[in-house]
Chain A
Amino acid sequence: MKSMEPNTSWLSRIIRPTSTRIIPGMGLSLGITIALLSICIIIPLGSVFSHGLSLPWDTWKVLLTKANVIQAFKTSLGTAAIAAAINVVFGFILAWVLVRYTFPGKALLNSMIELPFALPTAVAGITLSKLYTDTGWFGSILSQWGIHVAYSQIGIVVALVFVGIPFVVRSLEPVLETLDPIYEEAAFMMGASKFRLYRQVIFPELLPPLLTGFSLAFARGIGEYGSIIYISGNSFKNHTQAVSYVIMQKLNYADYSSATAIAIVLLGISFSILLVVNLIQNHHAKRIKGR
């Protein structure tokens, strides 16, 4: 079989083929892939980890137990979790409305959901900040009731809801599209109550994409920088310093060791979330195939 192998580029000779390859171009496409992945992603991230390994254990302990670092992690994780939960609720409503109903302005609504993806985070940041300060359009109304969004953790949540909403909607839409209303009608005809219908027919199907959407929005939220630094006020006293802000502060003082230590913890959290997302998707894909 090996002699029939038409592809003789160096890369395919190094990587043993697992089956006979007929289509040409493996060496070239894989070569480009590996080269770009290494130069642009693996080597730079590797530098962070290798720098982290060179730090003595005591440095780690001192750096990571500092009050402002611990507080920043609490702020980022807390606000990102609340924002992702809000996004799950509204993301579900938006996806449901977009898939199930026809109404005037649907196309506009659909393309508006892309806006937080396409809009620069710094623009979102200054815009929301201006809107929610006590003199802004929303802030002046809310402050009459004693709610101060800007320069508080609520402000961070608002900004994270803004940047996170497309993740939930886009995770849910494809699944909702495959969920045929016929099954719901069948369940309804057979006398299932509305509550049971939602609990036993719709909810189990939607749980994986809801979890995926939540995790993606959460992962984006804990590392977010541009959209939150203006509205948060970045105050240690008010607990509004995000982890990314603290890392940037360290970078500005050329304190690369502290920045690296904090970054590695944050990367660890992000990668765990990515792993959870992959597990959910694999599990779900298997369940569908198994039917």
Chain B
Amino acid sequence: MKGRYGSTLLILLAWAFIISMLLIPMLSVVFQALSLGWQFYVQSISTVYVMKSLGLTILVMVIAMLVSAIFGVAAAFAVSKFDFPGKTLIATLADIPFSVSPVIAGLAFLLTFGRLGWLGPYINQFNAWTGLDIRIVFAIPGVILVTIFMTMPFVFREILPVLLNQGREEEEAAALMGASGWRIFKEITFPHIKWPLLYGIILCGARAMGEFGAVAAVSKARGSTFTLPLEIDALYMSGTESAVVASFSVSSVLILLAFIMIGLRTYAAHKASHR
């Protein structure tokens, strides 16, 4: 029905876009990273700074994934299984982080917990009272909080459509037969959302490990509150030839992680569609 030339042309255009915009840039990172040899590559991804930021990145990522999963399951369950006023408000509020600039997310936490933030004095009082030195912004808790802000709705967005499609009849029947809430969730709801949950958690993890602008606003100490993207920025901005190469070496680690995430995501999507 359709001209064969038309389809060939479109497929070629699609490939041209993907190759020039995505594949060649990724290849160029590998070339840059290895431009000073293997030894330099290994050296530059095993510095103390990189190791420390890798540890923090993994910690932040795991917490962000946990929070997103808990929020996603709870919120999608509440919105899809019950009727209450303000339901659409919850869905709208959960969409907000997607359209907020990362830098504004950083600003929001500075204005809440920072020296000039309205919770700042209370934290100081609490510290004076307990003799502790709790700091939120410019410290690890702030890095974790901004990352949670940016990534919290990912799981919710993946699960909600599935639960809305599934309806309530199964859960209602089980409840009428006297099953406990936990048992209903475990044996009826969970099997429906298993794969989209994994799918959302992976997406959340990928975004959490790469969050840059928001973390950069609340993290200033290289070697202690820097995540991998900030370490890459510090290396790149220092400007020396070898530091720039090192920044690409560290980037290659994140690219490898990104590809692993995409692989897992494709697997979860495949599983979800062949349930």
Do chains A and B stick together as partners?
yes
Chain A interface residues toward B at CB < 8 A: 6, 15-19, 21-26, 28-30, 32-34, 36-37, 40-45, 47-48, 50-51, 90, 93-94, 96-98, 100-101, 103, 105, 107, 109-124, 126-128, 130-131, 136-138, 161-162, 165, 181, 184-185, 188, 216, 219-220, 222-226, 230, 243-244, 247-248, 251, 256, 259-260, 263, 266-267, 270-271, 273-274, 278
Confirm or deny: B200 has a beta carbon within 8 angstroms of a beta carbon on chain A. no
Which of chain B's residues have a CB closer than 8 A to the CB of A130?
A: 28, 32, 244, 248
What is the distance, in angstroms, from B94's C-beta to the closest C-beta of chain A? 7
Query: Of B107, B114, B185, which contacts A25 at CB under 8 A?
Result: B185
Query: Of B13, B95, B254, which contacts A93 at CB under 8 A?
Result: B13
Confirm or deny: B141 has a beta carbon within 8 angstroms of a beta carbon on chain A. no
Task: Specify the main secondary structure of chain A where it touches its partner.
Answer: helix
Q: Which of B36-44, B45-53, B125-133, B144-152 contacts A (4 or more CB under 8 A)?
A: B144-152
Q: Are B77 and A25 in contact (CB under 8 A)?
A: yes
Q: How far is the CA of A215 from the CA of B164 in the complex (A)?
A: 25
Q: Are A45 and B181 in contact (CB under 8 A)?
A: no
Which of chain B's residues have a CB closer than 8 A to the CB of A101?
A: 7, 10-11
Q: Are A45 and B96 in contact (CB under 8 A)?
A: yes
Q: How far is the CA of A222 from the CA of B207 in the complex (A)?
A: 18
What is the distance, in angstroms, from B68's C-beta to the closest C-beta of chain A? 10
Q: Are B149 and A40 in contact (CB under 8 A)?
A: yes
Number of chain B residues close to chain A: CB under 8 A: 100
Q: Are B15 and A109 in contact (CB under 8 A)?
A: yes
Q: How far is the CA of A165 from the CA of B14 in the complex (A)?
A: 12
What is the distance, in angstroms, from B265's C-beta to the closest C-beta of chain A? 6
Q: How far is the CA of A220 from the CA of B104 in the complex (A)?
A: 13
Q: Are A119 and B100 in contact (CB under 8 A)?
A: no
Check A226/B213 contact, CB under 8 A, given A50-B118, A259-B107. yes
24 residue pairs A–B, Cβ–Cβ below 8 Å: A25-B184, A26-B82, A36-B70, A47-B108, A47-B111, A48-B111, A98-B14, A101-B7, A115-B26, A118-B206, A118-B261, A122-B233, A123-B232, A124-B25, A127-B28, A131-B25, A131-B28, A162-B22, A165-B17, A216-B98, A225-B216, A226-B229, A244-B213, A256-B110
- Besides A112-B22, A120-B209, 20 other A-B contacts (C-beta < 8 A): A22-B175, A22-B176, A23-B184, A25-B184, A29-B81, A41-B152, A44-B145, A47-B118, A93-B13, A111-B265, A115-B258, A117-B206, A120-B258, A121-B229, A130-B32, A131-B25, A184-B1, A224-B101, A243-B101, A248-B213
Which of chain B's residues have a CB closer than 8 A to the CB of A96?
A: 10
